[in-house]
Amino acid sequence: MSSTRPASGHGPGAAAARLTGLAATAERPLSGALTEVVLDGGRVVVVKHADAPGAVRAEAAGLRWLAATGTVRIPTVHGHDGRWLVIDRVPPGRASADAAARFGRDLAALHAAGAPAFGAPPPAGPEEAYIGLAPMRNVPGDDWPSWYAAHRVLPYLRRAVDDGTVRPAEAAVIERVCERLPALAGPAEPPARLHGDLWNGNVLWGADGHVRLIDPAAHGGHRETDLAMLDLFGCPHLERILDGYRRAAPLADGWRDRVGLHQLFPLLVHAVLFGRGYADQALAVARSALTR
Residue 106 annotated in active site: no
The DSSP H or E segment spanning 106 is: helix 97-112
- Annotated catalytic residue within 106, 197, 215, 231: 197
Q: Give the count of beta carbons closer than 10 Å to the beta carbon of residue 183.
A: 9
Which CA distances in Å does 47 have to 54, 90, 173, 180, 188?
A: 16, 12, 42, 44, 40
Within 10 angstroms of residue 138's Cβ, the number of other Cβ atoms is: 24
Phi-psi region of 156 (alpha: psi -120 to 50; beta: other; left: phi over 0): alpha
Q: 49: which strand partners? A: 84
Tell me 92's DSSP state: B
3-state helix, strand, coil in the chain (%, to 5): 45, 20, 35
> SS3 for 224-265, per residue?
HHHHHHHHHCCCCCHHHHHHHHHHHCCCCCCHHHHHHHHHHH
For CA atoms 152, 156, 161, 162, the dihedral sign is: positive
Interatomic CA distance for residues 34 and 199, integer angstroms: 18
d(CA 71, CA 240): 18
Integer Cα distance of 147 and 139 in angstroms: 8
| Contacts for 118 with CB less than 8 Å, ≥ 6 apart | 140, 141, 142, 143, 144, 147, 148, 191, 220, 221, 222
Residues serving a catalytic function are: 197
